[in-house]
Chain A
Amino acid sequence: MSFATRVDEALADRNLKLAVERTAGTAEAKRTLAVDAFPDFDAARDRAAAIKDHVVANLGHYLQAFEANATAAGAQVHWARTAQEACDIVVRLCKAANAKSVARSKSMLGEEIGLPHALAEAGIGRIETDLAEHIIQLSGERPSHIIWPAMHKTREQVSALFKASHRAPHEEETIAAMAESARRHLREGMLAADVGISGANFLVADTGAVCTVTNEGNAELSLVPPRMHIVTAGIEKIVPSTGHAVHLLRMLSRSATGAPLSQYTTFYTGPKRALDRDGPEEMHIVLVDNGRTTMREEGLAEMLRCIRCGACMNHCVVFRQIGGHAYGGTYPGPMGAVLTPAFDGLKQSRDLPNACTLNGKCQEVCPVRIPLPTLLRGWREKSWREGLEPASLRSGLGTWAWFARRPRLYRAATATALRAMRLMGRSGWLTRLPLADGWTRYRDMPRPTEESFMAQYRKGRRS
């Protein structure tokens, strides 16, 4: 299915729009409160970006330091160039452990490399332990948001899924009762799993620790009881020390949910020690490249700063209209529109960078200051250079045309574009216009008035 078709389907789904608005809107409001309560947040973002840039610049050094320290703590470190190599390693480890079932704690990297599919192909049972991932597993869908993967599901849909699959499902139709049903069901699975699989929010170079962050505590319940803990982590997840992780944790939780810190932050260093009462006998860490070294070499190094907080999508006018599935990749929203062409190829995903108003909101809220609009523009220009745009859109109005054919999206987009244009306006005249790139290359446009014509018109009619 093409991107355009997926977008049109999403736009026609009123439930989806409500669901996305509710969750993203709440996240936006909570982030604003959290940032207002942190006076130096802007300077803190500069520091967060600098920490990540320092790591990306010295990535080889830090990966080797991490490997040495994790190994010294008793973990085994594996390296994977591609998604396939990473999945092969995990499947091989699971088979060596004679694993019948694995408990997986939500990891976007796991989705990125297709781990759920690889485990299924190998005949290894998998239970997703994050509540939203559990819902997604039952419905056979992909996550629609990196923090709230089931944000597109209504309570009625969740209820039906649980009733069809839980042994002793809820009787009362309340969200609390549904969560309780999942608690009973998933706890059994977690305590019975042979292997626990997680991602990593951070890999701490100087201790060899792997850090996970959750609000549910499902990571710990998935990773402590089984005999083996396998981590799959992107190589950019490295931080020099726990202190650097602390700084990024402050940014991550505030940007994601507005909390000063998520409920459970755990640093795992190696397997169970000789006298420990619990913990896995073996710990394996798979360091995954899957295109990251190429991104670093080919102009997308800034994207490797991403800490997967989801703020850019919560604040994106396009995401708020179409939700996550329409993007078609593992990662939705602005960060997804930058990452998907890198993972899947520009030819298949060249529409994604076009589905952006370049209003700059994502960059404004990104805790590590990734210049998302600039990176998206880079993809657009590359798509042009490589002649991937169809002839009908080569007039220079590709993006404009994309929006103009979707009136609801167009209205939402132009409302924020006006804001961006005011910011960009110099002495009342613009030299660059986000929705009409090709046009302003040759002529200037007047700076817009404070409200769009439609908004002024509606106001005029009311007064």
Chain B
Amino acid sequence: MEQYSEKVMDHFRNPRNVGEIENPDGIGHVGNPMCGDVMEMYIKVKENIIVDAKFKTFGCGAAIATSSMATELVIGKTIDEVRQITNKVVAEALDGLPPIKMHCSNLAEEALEAAIKDYKEKLAHKKA
């Protein structure tokens, strides 16, 4: 089996922020074209700061751990700061991923991006 770091296993064993947010400010729903996995990311935003994030993931250990880590990293950050959180940042925060599993961390980045896009669209909608 893939050798995962202790951090990955920790987030896999006890994933943080699993679930859905009621009335979220943004939802990102993405599929992984590589292996067919699916991730959903929910965010709650107050005054441009992400105050809560939750996820649901159908995927491997790396996919679950990166989603979990991604939610931890974004909570408390401003929308602009969150842009810096790429899949590499998430993977590094987990002490790295096996090379074949790097694509799973893309999923977390994309889900986050999609959630923020959704948030911005909703915001524009409200203003309009």
A joins B in a complex: no
A residues with CB within 8 A of B: none
B residues with CB within 8 A of A: none
